[in-house]
Chain A
Amino acid sequence: MGLKWKKLLPGGFQIRMTALVTAVVLLVSTVIMLMIEVRVRTDYGRMLNDRLEENLVAITRIMEQRLLRVEASTNTIAVLAPQMLSDCKSVDSLLIHAITAVDDVRGVSMVFDKNIVPIGGGYLERYACYDENGNIILDTYINGPELEKDGNWQKCFVEGLPEWGELVLSDTLSVVSYFEPLTDREGKCLGMLYSALPETYLTSFVAEYKVRKDMDISIYKSDGDAVVLPDDYILELSDEDLIERESIIGHIGWKVILSADKKIIDRGVRKAMSAIVLIFLLMFICIYLVVRFTVRYVSGPFIAEKRRTEKEKAIMENEMQLASAAQNELIPHVFPPFPDRKGLDISACLHPSRQVGGDLYDYFLHGDSLYFCIGDVSGKGVQAALFMAATHYLFRSMVAGISVAKAAGQMNSSLCADNEKCRFVTFWMGCLDLTSGDLEYVNAGHDAPMLVSGGSVGTFPSSVDVPLGVLEGVDFVPGKTKLLPGDTLLLYTDGVTESMDAGRQEFGRARLSKILETVSDADASGVIEIVLDEVRRHSSGTPQSDDITMLCIKFIGKETKNQ
């Protein structure tokens, strides 16, 4: 669990992840939106068609019924009228009855044949209509021969029933009329009867029944003449941009056409889509907030823990760096250390495998004597480093002026005391008399140094004593030898000889010895450099597993005794 959180949380990854998720969400949303739009468009188109169809059917039916009512009323009067023509009052009451019977009718008129009511060659017309105050008025009018010219008379008696919608001009009304002939029982023409409706009747009817502003109704007679024209904007649209539905008012053959601009689908879809997108956005925001809250709530402790650990780690690393620097300061690393000593050349290196190491080297001059040492503490890390520091301190404080064997014994006693963890240090210590080249040394369990003398390489007699810190009260046995001018001494730790290559092959003492055969001309720092290069080349590609430490002392020549 912990590992997973760690993997998920680093900033770079989180940002990449957020971008990826956002991209995927956007892509998926777009695809979903497009699919929804197609669906909405189809559904909306279908719904609109249904609405138009329903609307059209309703309009057609209502209009048919209303027209039929006018027709029926007019028919009834036409049947009743011939029997009542003898009495003027009966005619008038019939007209009043007719005009009040149907709301739509604004006027009812009887025109008598000039043979039936002869009044000097004209046609007598008796009619009832509403005045501007809504009161019914009865009046008489004498039509001249223009009645025959207009054709209404002929239509009524010669061509049969005139069509609905004929416009009749009277002095009071401009009307749409329905005509019926008046005949006696033998079929003889008596005159004609018509019911007049206001000219605006159909247009206002259309306006009343339009369910939507963006659709329009037009009505055409069977011969194609328009009774009601659509609005101009509908007329301007081409057929492809129009949705049209038509139906027929059955008994008179009029065509009712419902037209709508196709753009209303686009508008509707856009409206629906913006609502859907808004809902989606709100939903996303809600989900985002919920997820964010949840993640924060759940991962809060993990993040706090991680931050604390990182902080502690940073502090630790800082401490380790300080420790590393402090350890580095313990050992000398300015070369050459004694520039005024012409008979001596010293160089060294120490490369810990961790920040702090367990290796050490050191040297100092006491009169004409050079005391020097190299050591390797068991184990690694901080504990080894502390033991190394203790060893270094003991070397600096105890060795001067006494024999190396005695010094080793004292150091051993100090290091053995309270050494519960059984740490120890393999240690090689020498004392070189710069005036004579005499070298006295002790080897406390350390690898014997290499001596390069006149192009040949030899080692010192192998260890005879245990490392420091192992056994209480050991008497260290010193070894003695004499350096010749030009001799080079290389002290090293096993980090050099045991450095491994990728195939786990150790660098080895033999190889070190072989390299040293070629370095007799090099100075001390040159020797260190050459060996280090070879070791690095040998172990390239594998991590350094142990501290690599070398101390090279070149005895150039005897010095005259220092006063």
Chain B
Amino acid sequence: MEITIQNNSENVIAIMKGSFDTLAAEQAETYVQELESLASKPIIIDCNGMDYIASSGLRVLLRLRKASAAQGRQVTLLGVNENIMEVLKVTHFDRMFILG
């Protein structure tokens, strides 16, 4: 998976492209730490290029969500495709993030 982080003045955008599987989750974990350490701006995950998410991927999102909530930050998932939305709905995760 390809992950790019843009640190803007009003928010932080993480662009995630490809398949968010177990392997990618291990890779993403380090980026999550980076996101957590950045100043308390809203976090936007750009999911336009993401075609699959495994439970490992959900775990990483959950971890980010929990850390952000503790800092009083919002996490928005942007451009979630149909398949991933179904997974989010089944696992009830759709209610834990702002979907844009």
**A residues near B, CB below 8 A?**
358, 376-380, 421-424, 426, 445-448, 462-467, 470-471, 494, 545-546
Contact = CB atoms under 8 A, between A and B. Distances in A.
Contacts of A377: 55
Contacts of A426: 55, 90-91
B78 to A, nearest CB: 21
B75 to A, nearest CB: 13
Contacts of B21: 545
A423 to B, nearest CB: 6
Nearest to A545: B21
Contacts of B73: none
A377 B56 CA distance: 9
Given A377-B55, A422-B62, A463 B22 contact: no
A378 B63 contact: no
A352 to B, nearest CB: 13
What does DSSP make chain B's interface, helix, strand, loop or mixed?
helix
Contacts of A466: 91-93, 95-96
Contact of B63 (A358, A422, A465): A422
A546 B54 CA distance: 10
A422 B28 CA distance: 14
A378 B56 contact: yes
21 contacts: A378-B55, A378-B58, A379-B55, A380-B56, A421-B59, A422-B60, A422-B62, A422-B66, A423-B59, A424-B59, A424-B62, A426-B91, A445-B93, A446-B90, A463-B90, A463-B92, A466-B95, A466-B96, A470-B96, A471-B96, A494-B55
Given A376-B55, A378-B55, A378-B56, A463 B63 contact: no
Nearest to B32: A422
Contacts of A447: 90
A424 B62 CA distance: 9
B85 to A, nearest CB: 13
B25 interface: yes
A184 B77 CA distance: 150
Given A378-B56, A421-B59, 19 more contacts: A378-B55, A379-B22, A379-B56, A422-B60, A422-B63, A424-B55, A424-B59, A426-B90, A445-B90, A445-B93, A448-B90, A462-B90, A463-B89, A463-B92, A465-B92, A466-B92, A466-B96, A470-B62, A470-B96
Interface of B: 21-22, 25, 54-56, 58-60, 62-63, 66, 89-93, 95-96
A467 B90 CA distance: 9
Given A422-B66, A424-B62, A470-B62, A463 B91 contact: yes
A494 B89 CA distance: 14
B63 A380 contact: no
Nearest to B91: A445
B26 to A, nearest CB: 9
B74 to A, nearest CB: 17
A422 B32 CA distance: 13
Contacts of A546: 54
A347 B62 CA distance: 34
A378 B59 contact: yes
A514 B96 CA distance: 33
B65 to A, nearest CB: 8
A465 B63 CA distance: 18
A378 B54 CA distance: 8
Nearest 7 pairs of A and B residues by beta carbon: A445-B91, A378-B55, A422-B63, A466-B92, A378-B59, A379-B56, A422-B62
Contacts of B95: 466
A379 B91 contact: no
Contacts of A424: 55, 58-59, 62
A536 B92 CA distance: 30
A463 B86 CA distance: 11
A362 B23 CA distance: 29
B92 A445 contact: yes
Contacts of B91: 426, 445, 463, 466-467
Nearest to A380: B22
B23 to A, nearest CB: 10
A464 B22 contact: no
Nearest to A377: B55
Contacts of B25: 379
B59 A464 contact: no
B30 to A, nearest CB: 14
Contacts of A423: 59
A421 B33 CA distance: 12
A467 B89 CA distance: 11
B94 to A, nearest CB: 10
Contacts of A421: 59, 63
A315 to B, nearest CB: 24
Contacts of B62: 422, 424, 470
Contacts of A445: 90-93
Nearest to A448: B90
Contacts of B58: 378, 424
A60 B54 CA distance: 107
B80 to A, nearest CB: 16
B56 A467 contact: no
